[in-house]
Amino acid sequence: MKKFLFLLTAIICGAVSAGDEYSFFLISDTHIGSLESFGENPPAKLKRKGEREKAAIPLFEEMFRQMAERYGKKNAFLIHTGDAIEGNAASKDLQIQQFATAEKLLKKYFNCPVYMVRGNHESSGKYGLAAYREYIAPAIAKLAGKPEKTVHYTAKHGDDIFIFVDAYTKGWQKFIYDTLHSLEKPPRYLFLVLHPDLLPHARMDVVKICRKLGSFNAIILSGHTHRTRLLKYTRAGKTATQFSIGSHLTVPAKRMQYTQKSTDLNDFLVPFRKLRVRTARQTAVFEREIIPFLSEYVEYHDGSPRFFAQGYAVLTVNDSAVTAVIQSGDLKQQPFEIVLLKRNTSGDKK
């Protein structure tokens, strides 16, 4: 298996070694926290959660160390798609301290720009929104090298455009449209980064965004579900590719060794219908506008009903394609799999 992975790595690197190549890290949902941040007498649920999150910090230290040692020298930047912290802290200061801990860990191991977006946990709890406005949002902007008041922003890397949106603040959809309309020419690759998945969904406004992104053959990078998943939405020959990552290292260590792979789309659609498709209108949108256009579903999980499979990914971008090395399951082993996210068909025509 290891020989196969090394061979596959060599094949992909050889096949996509065209100009303007760079790589970057992708992580999400680290949920860094501690028992102390939930106060002296937290409810039982928060106490259990705090104990798990505190125990997870050494796991993140090990994962970040591995990322930096294996790939740090060649990676241009790191993207965190939200829920860096657990939130729900007992005070505004403790909520801020959670994020400061996450920020410190990232700065310790990654000597590169760190791009982040807001997850739902960045502002969760009684004091979450105040902490987000006072410290967390400015800190996210500072890590990205952007103005402090920025919640939606863009970054350019060569001929590629990255759009980062806070999906919990009004105006994120308009920001996407405005950014796309302002482009003087189509980018080599277009990336949209946000916390919650866009695909699948049962809202027509999200369907319209997916169509628009598809017209640019965009890649959507997300988190939120704590799952590592690839899903494609193809319409009129144009494809929006969604790649989600999960990095929530709080499951027992022994479960990290049993990562499995699912390619049956119904494994995901059946529970999605039960949880998210509730009205006749949603059903119509889902069945007519989403289902017929989904393809290339791949999900990595540990065999449990919750489908956890945590870790990180390293994405490599060049003239030929965008590929992802997925490090999931037992982090001490070689990469779990290498997948093709997007082939640059426009480059074939040049």
pLDDT in tens, 171-225: 999 999 999 999 999 999 999 999 999 999 999 999 999 999 999 999 999 999 8
Residue 17, pLDDT > 50, answer no
Q: What percent of the chain has pLDDT over 90?
A: 61
Q: What is the DSSP letter of 290?
A: I
Among candidate residues 111, 114, 136, 276, the one with its CA nearest the CA of residue 201: 276
- The pLDDT-based confidence of 338 (bands split at 50, 70, 90) is confident
Q: Where are the domains of the chain?
A: 2-348
Mean pLDDT taken over the chain: 86
Strands 75-80 and 22-27: parallel
For 2-348, CATH gives 3.60.21.10
Q: What is the DSSP letter of 272?
A: H
Contacts of residue 170, Cβ cutoff 8 Å, sequence gap at least 6: none
Largest Cα–Cα distance of the chain, in whole Å?
65
pLDDT, residue 209, reads 96
pLDDT, residue 15, reads 36
Token pair of 328 as six digits: 């999931």
The stretches of the chain forming alpha helices (DSSP H) are: 2-15, 44-71, 92-109, 128-131, 137-144, 172-182, 204-215, 266-276, 280-285, 345-348
Spatial contact of 191 and 164, defined as CB atoms under 8 Å apart: no
Burial of 45 (0-12, 13-18, 19+ CB in 10 A): exposed
pLDDT single digits (tens) 87-122: 999 999 999 999 999 999 999 999 999 999 999 999
